[in-house]
Amino acid sequence: MPCVLTVAGSDSGGGAGIQADLKTMLALGVHGMSVVTAVTAQNSLGVQGAWELPVEAVRAQYRSVVDDIGVQAVKTGMLSSAELVEAVAELIAGTDAPAVVDPVGVSKHGDALLAASALDSVRTKLLPAATVATPNLDEVAQITGLRVESEREMRGAAAAVLEYGPRWVLIKGGHLPGDAVDLLTDGSEEHWLRAPRHDNRHTHGTGCTLASAIASGLAKGRSVPEAVVEAKEYVTGAVAAGFALGGGIGPVDHGWRFRTDV
């Protein structure tokens, strides 16, 4: 069974972060493993607190898994400080496996998950180590300074992110009105991915889930375009089946393909 390693923060509410990553990997038939970078107190209403783990603890978790079990793909999520970003970038650059970098900047509720001082490390250390980078439009603005307000501006955003060195970039256009449109490109070939927008506010964990689904496809030997297309299909179904949880924004349904009661 292919093995995928997520390097990300823990979401105590189970909708995003490590928890969403492992659920996605299980649903897609790979063995999920984890390196916890931070612990958050988080629920459907937002993030009430976050505590970063020491770099030595993150590095020890990574080496423990990779040196014994091995990995066919790595996915990164919440890396809150420059020190963590640089340590993880070094680890994945030295690992012979594709890396999906989700440059998490803020939570679904608008809570900051990345220190402003870490942005330069994301640009110069983490993105160059990425096989695929998956920024949403807010993260594109953080990284490049470009504000994307229409579909036609996504191509320029992709070019700006590619300048930092990832092999591929997936610009996620979910914050734009209309269909959910994403652009995948390596600077030469382009793939526009469209899906209907579902009238469902319960979308917590969408970005984590998509990046983990892409990593799962790459671990199975899919090409980047094939893995992204399959991941987009999976996430679209998960969003459509997203459910209420608590008093705020509920999670996407990672097990939607297995439901027999819907």
192-211 burial, b if ≥16 CB within 10 A, otherwise e?
ebebeeeeeebbbbbbbbbb
The reply to whether 172 belongs to the active site is yes
Strands (E), the chain: 3-11, 31-43, 46-52, 73-76, 99-101, 132-133, 168-172, 180-185, 190-195
Q: What is the pLDDT of residues 204-252, one digit of tens each?
A: 999 999 999 999 999 999 999 999 999 999 999 999 999 999 999 999 9
Q: What is the pLDDT of residues 53-107, one digit of tens each?
A: 999 999 999 999 999 999 999 999 999 899 999 999 999 999 999 999 999 876 6
Greater confidence (166 vs 176) lies with 166
Q: What confidence score (pLDDT) does residue 226 get?
A: 98
The reply to whether 206 belongs to the active site is yes
Residues with Cβ within 8 Å of residue 113, at least 6 apart in sequence: 9, 47, 50, 78, 80, 104, 105, 106, 107
Q: What confidence score (pLDDT) does residue 137 get?
A: 93
Nearest alpha carbon to residue 15 among 240, 258, 203: 203
* Mean pLDDT calculated for residue range 198-208: 92
In angstroms, rounded to a whole number, what is the distance separating the alpha carbons of residues 13 and 19?
9
* Tokens encoding 243: 């459910």
The one catalytic residue in 3, 23, 76, 208 is 208
The one catalytic residue in 131, 134, 185, 203 is 203
At 14, give phi and psi (nearest 5°).
80, 5
- The predicted model scores a pTM of 0.95
In angstroms, rounded to a whole number, what is the distance separating the alpha carbons of residues 243 and 199?
12
The reply to whether 237 belongs to the active site is no
- Asked whether the predicted pLDDT for residue 262 surpasses 60, the reply is no
CB 204 within 8 A of CB 16: yes
Q: What is the mean pLDDT of the chain?
A: 94
The one catalytic residue in 108, 172, 220, 232 is 172
Q: What is the pLDDT of residues 112-159, one digit of tens each?
A: 667 777 899 999 999 999 999 999 999 999 999 999 999 999 999 999
The reply to whether 3 belongs to the active site is no
The one catalytic residue in 206, 220, 236, 250 is 206
Q: What confidence score (pLDDT) does residue 110 get?
A: 60
Q: What confidence score (pLDDT) does residue 252 get?
A: 96
